[in-house]
Structure 1
Amino acid sequence: MKQVKIAGQQVPAMGIGTWHMGERPAQRETEIAAIQAGISAGARVVDTAEMYGSGKSENLVGEALKPFKREDIFLISKVLPENASQRRMEASLDASLQRLRTDYLDLYLYHWRGSVPLSETVAELQRLQTTGKIRSWGVSNFDIADLQELWALPGGDQAVANEDLYHLGSRGLDYAVLPWQRDHDLPLIAYSPIAQGDSWGHHLTTTPIVQQIAQAHHATIYQVLLAWVVRHPQVLAIPQTSSVAHMEQNIAAADLTLSATELAALDQQFPAPTSKQPLDIL
């Protein structure tokens, strides 16, 4: 299974996203079973946020992780921009830890930029790391200019990851962000790596070349899309599903390697940008 090194730890390149999970009581047991199936299939990274369902996702994740050893899980959550200040961040983190039933996060991400000065947010993230409540910190929804600004700040280069939207139909990161992150040894966490099942009109699942590659590998279309995302050595994908079967297929996609010919065919159908693109955000 492909691995990514993040915050000094080697983890499988396929993790578990939890956006939209925990919001429907009738789905709770199904969603818990899916998360647990993903971990049992080899996933270590579980990604959530205080924003997701206003804490309901964190609560669900906390329950789902109970059967597992805490040290076997790489747990990520995120702080909202309005809570990313020196005055509010620690209380926000404490609430996340309580919902997650843990006393530390492996990685705490600044969810997206708001009105709090970035220098203040970075200083508070650095301070919280010294308390042991977070083992490392990073950012999310940062574009190239944001990353460059971050790196110029005291302690800014201590960020261990950036989480952005990235999939075959949204390749803006290929122009500047991914090359910059590779040069600075900053892993990418790719959210919505299968374009939310084509709900945004990218037609990835109905494109003949994607279907042909899936058939050649006896894989699902979604596995091909995920394998494409993690073709880079320092990219971690966090697909979300409430289905046990789909979860197991997602995790197995980390073992699928696309050939140079297949990657070239996908590039032809979904070309990388030749100029700077606006950062895609959901």
Structure 2
Amino acid sequence: MKTVTLAGQTVPAIGIGTWHMGDDPQTRASEIATIQAGLASGARVIDTAEMYGSGRAESLVGEALQGVDRQQVFLISKVLPENASRDRMQRSVEASLQRLGTDYLDLYLYHWRGNVPLAETVSELQRLQDQGLVKAWGVSNFDVADLDELWALPQGPNAQANEDLYHLGSRGLDYAVLPWQRQHQLPLIAYSPVAQGDAWGQHLTTNPVVRQLAEKYQVSIYQILLAWVIRHDQVLAIPQTSSVAHMRQNLAAGDLTLSAADLTALDGQYPAPTHKLPLDVI
């Protein structure tokens, strides 16, 4: 099982994403069962946010974690830009903690940049860490210029992760962001690592090379896509699923290593960028 060091903890390179979960009462029981099955199968990281369902995803995670050893879970949540200020962030994190049924977060991310000065947001994130409400903090949807600005702040290099959109059909990070993060030893959390099942028309699941590799290794197409995302060291993928079977398949992708020839074949279908691209955000 491939691992990532995140905020000083070693965790499996496949985690549990929760975007779009908690919205439908009819699927709540299956979503809770899926999260619990993921933890039972070795997952440790759960990624959520106050934005997801206006707190409903956090409440769902809190219910799923009842009776689970908190020390065995690496819990990530995120603060909205409008709440990332000196006046509002503490209220936000306390509300998230209440919904999650815990007294601390392992990692608290600034969800995306807004109008609050970055220095103020970073200062407040650091204050929450010093207070013990969060063990570590980081950022999300940051491009290279944002990361440079962050690192120029006195407390900026205390950031422990950046979470960006990254999958085989969206490779803009390969040009500048991933090299920057490797140089600065900042882990990447890859959201939507299987492109939400071809939601944006990249046709990843019907691509003949992807399908051939799935047949070669006798795994699912999504396992190939996840193995590609975590081919780099210090990249954590957080796919979302409401299916216990898919959850177990996702986690098994952490044991799959694609060969150099496999990666070359995928590059031929989805080439790495040769120039800087705008940061993909959904």
TM-score (norm: length of structure 1): 1.00
Name 1:243's counterpart in structure 2: 243
Amino acid of the residue matched to residue 52 of structure 1? Answer: Y
The Cα of 1:12 is off from its aligned counterpart by 0.2
The Cα of 1:154 is off from its aligned counterpart by 1.3
Q: Counterparts of 1:236 and 1:93 in 2: how far apart (Å)? A: 23
Instruction: Tell me if 1:8 matches 2:11.
Output: no
Name 1:167's counterpart in structure 2: 167
Q: Counterparts of 2:209 and 2:67 in 1: how far apart (Å)? A: 41
Q: Counterparts of 2:214 and 2:277 in 1: how far apart (Å)? A: 29
Q: 1:20-169 residue pairs with structure 2 within 5 A?
A: 20-169=20-169
The Cα of 1:268 is off from its aligned counterpart by 1.0
Stretch of structure 1 that moved more, 63-72 or 165-174 = 63-72
The Cα of 1:221 is off from its aligned counterpart by 0.3
Residue 95 of structure 1 aligns to a residue whose secondary structure is: helix
Q: Kindly tell me the number of residue pairs found equivalent between the two proteins.
A: 282
Q: Counterparts of 2:97 and 2:68 in 1: how far apart (Å)? A: 16
Deviations 1:92-142 (A, max 9, x none): 000000000000000000000000000000000011101100000000000
The Cα of 1:59 is off from its aligned counterpart by 0.1
Residue 279 of structure 1 aligns to a residue whose secondary structure is: coil
CA RMSD of aligned residues (A): 0.4
Q: Counterparts of 2:100 and 2:254 in 1: how far apart (Å)? A: 26
Amino acid of the residue matched to residue 26 of structure 2? Answer: A
The Cα of 1:199 is off from its aligned counterpart by 1.3
Deviations 1:159-180 (A, max 9, x none): 0000000000000000000000
Q: Counterparts of 1:183 and 1:199 in 2: how far apart (Å)? A: 32
Name 2:177's counterpart in structure 1: 177
Deviations 1:140-159 (A, max 9, x none): 00000000000001100000
Q: Counterparts of 2:139 and 2:255 in 1: how far apart (Å)? A: 27
Instruction: Tell me if 1:279 matches 2:279.
Output: yes
The Cα of 1:32 is off from its aligned counterpart by 0.2
Amino acid of the residue matched to residue 104 of structure 2? Answer: Y
Q: Counterparts of 1:96 and 1:235 in 2: how far apart (Å)? A: 25
Residue 37 of structure 2 aligns to a residue whose secondary structure is: helix
Q: Counterparts of 1:273 and 1:67 in 2: how far apart (Å)? A: 46
Name 2:253's counterpart in structure 1: 253
Residue 169 of structure 1 aligns to a residue whose secondary structure is: coil
Q: Counterparts of 2:266 and 2:41 in 1: how far apart (Å)? A: 28
Amino acid of the residue matched to residue 157 of structure 1? Answer: P
Q: Counterparts of 2:207 and 2:57 in 1: how far apart (Å)? A: 33
Q: Counterparts of 1:252 and 1:207 in 2: how far apart (Å)? A: 21
Q: Counterparts of 1:151 and 1:195 in 2: how far apart (Å)? A: 29
The Cα of 1:67 is off from its aligned counterpart by 2.5
Deviations 1:190-209 (A, max 9, x none): 00000000011010010100
The Cα of 1:6 is off from its aligned counterpart by 0.7
Residue 119 of structure 1 aligns to a residue whose secondary structure is: helix
Residue 4 of structure 1 aligns to a residue whose secondary structure is: strand
Residue 139 of structure 2 aligns to a residue whose secondary structure is: strand
Q: Counterparts of 2:208 and 2:49 in 1: how far apart (Å)? A: 36
Mind listing any 5+ residue stretches in structure 2 that lack a counterpart?
none
Q: Counterparts of 1:230 and 1:197 in 2: how far apart (Å)? A: 18
Q: Counterparts of 1:227 and 1:65 in 2: how far apart (Å)? A: 27
